[in-house]
Structure 1
Amino acid sequence: MSARGRKIVAALLVVMFCYAATIGALVAVDSTRTTEGMDEILYLPNEKLLAYFTAGLNTVIADLLWLHCIQYTALENRGQRHFTWLEHMLFTATRLDPYFTEVYRYGAMFLAALRADPEASLRLAQAGIKVNPYAWQLPYEAAMVFLLNKREESDSRYFATQYLSMSAATGRAPGGVVNLAAKLQDEFDLTEFEKDLWYEMLESEDKFIRELAERKLIEIELRSVCRILNERLDMFAQRTGRRASSFEELIDAGLIAAVPEDPLGGHFFIGEDGSAYNTSLLDDMIIRAKNVLITNVKFYQERYGVWPDSLETLTDAGLLEEIPAHPWPGKQWQYDPGTGEVE
């Protein structure tokens, strides 16, 4: 490295060290001062000014600021719990590095749970969603704000459903989040909202995202067909006093024109409970529910060194609140305690 290069690197290191030391000192001072007059104190410089002085090391400074933000939060939580500078620190870090999803996620949690400021929490989460549309955690945290911190508001569950749908629409959310979104969607009938999200993803440059969006749009239509078929089955039962045993009976009764087709290669059928199902939807639900079980079985094995004796052991250990029912009507999960395999 040339002498000039060494000087530049040394200068940058000095800037970083001084900045980190300054923030650390401010955190320490802030933990001991009273809140009187703090509104007039500029705790951190404007992020544009910071970006100018970081010489392109925005992400490095954002990392440092996030570490000090955690330290500040811990100190405040043990002290007066005012968290005066928390929101400013979080927004400064995210403006330095807009793709720092951990700051948006955990910062939103800190603001909602510790500072009891759901509005600030939502502002941070919404800012993160705009620049990180595929981060399922951010709309999920926004949904939790509505479900937990704003639950007394009449429309809180509606807005929570919208954000959970956004989280599920990323295609990366865990099965539990997807299932919760589906449950609330049924309650509020947000099918069109979900469609719009997937139609937007059809424009993605990522081939995987486009293919996923195409499949999810088909699944939405399949769910709609299942609802219609079940409505027709109810009508048949009201007319005849019994449930239809086949779709042909619905055709003969003039309730449907033909048995619907499944573009995904599956088929519709009437289960033993007299309800209409679709195999493609059931297969997808089985995969998601099975993944939840397998993940927790492996976690149990890592924690205790043995496979759980049964799936119910997962609830006894506090890993799951309940064992998800097998999506296929009439079927039960098959578990091998010798290998940890779930089928």
Structure 2
Amino acid sequence: MSRVCFFKGMMRKLPTVLLAAGLLLVVYLSGQPRPPPHLGDRPILPRPGFLKALFKAQLGLVTDYFWILTINRVGSARSVSDYRDVYYYADLTTDLDPRFAKVYTFAGITIPIHMGREQYANVKESSTILRKGMANTPEDKRIHFQLAYNLMFFERRYQEAAVIIEELAREPGAPEWYSGLATRLYAQAGEFETSLGLAQTLRDSAEDEETRTYYERRVNEILQERLLQQLDEALQHHKARTGQLPGSLEALVSAGDLSELPGDPLGGKLFLGDDGRAYSTATRFRLGIIYNEKTSDGERLVPKPMDAKNHESPQP
């Protein structure tokens, strides 16, 4: 009987205990944000299930608080691990509100850190939060494009990026250059048949002569890049066999690495570049992605695709 009374007494006190715990947590959370304690390489943060149960009626307020902490963590970040912490804050914030689209793009853009020589840290965390955003807010196409950007420039996974950009290109009101970028990425991935088929489809369905001419050139650029990559392979085969690169592309023929030097689909003259790759006088750049590593003072510089037709601004 006494045990039953004790149990009933504890049940009556339970709401008071929970309220006290909640008030203590509110006091803790209302203090000035400071670096959290870590367990291994990740910060110790509350479990989302616990926060949802304890602050069911104030969940929006708690979510906003952790969103502010996410921003604060960026402002105080000084190292790779500090920026990696941003992922965990953003992950918790979007667990509390999976539809909080801004968090995904903010964290996805902020987390990667340039280490120099085209090497980036925290790329996995950045792509993970962006994939989570695509799943929870599929209508926000900015998240899709940012993930494609990660795949293009950080991970070199060109085919996956091309699939995303091609899907975005089908959206109403999508920029026209999306389609051109998709063909470029497929070519970069070596998916020449896919790239060629997409470019030919865009050429044949063009509603004006200017667009048709653009994609006709893109078809020839893809054919040119396929040819140049074949020449690159012949150059590397020659180097592996002889220990050095030939003096010219013509030397590949005399050495037996090629039966003949093919013609350029764009009508240019093919030549051997200083970097040991094949090029054409018909285009300033090959059909690929050009990377700018960093500024002179070490700051991160956003890499941009560049097109031979316009050397000063990003083009597909």
TM, length-normalised to structure 1: 0.45
TM, length-normalised to structure 2: 0.48
Question: Comparing both structures, which one devotes a greater share of its residues to helix?
Answer: 1
- RCO greater where, 1 or 2, for CA within 8 Å and sep 6 or more? 2
